[in-house]
Amino acid sequence: MPTDAIQCKPLEVAVGDKGIERAIKHLKRKMAAEGILRELKRRRHYMKPSVKRRKKASEAARRRRKRSKMDLMA
């Protein structure tokens, strides 16, 4: 059974004069932009295939509603 491993380049954050707190904030921002945090949350618990299909369909419906709402505003 193949895994859904994601291959990506390693994230690097330079710790400069601004300190470690700023570097941690920058790292979290980069991880969020790469989608790493979302992937971790998704893989934290096993999701049955039927639940996964329902969730995928509901997310698609949510995106459609959001897109149609944005089209009405524009």
1 pLDDT tier (thresholds 50, 70, 90): very low
What is the average pLDDT across 11-36?
Answer: 88
Which tokens in the block code for residue 63? 């995106």
Better-scored residue on pLDDT, 60 or 36: 60
3 pLDDT tier (thresholds 50, 70, 90): low
Could you read off the pLDDT of 24-35 as tens digits, one per residue?
Answer: 999 999 888 888
Rounded Cα distance, 39 and 32, in Å: 10
Global pTM value = 0.48
Helices 20-34 and 36-43 cross at an angle (nearest 10°) of 70
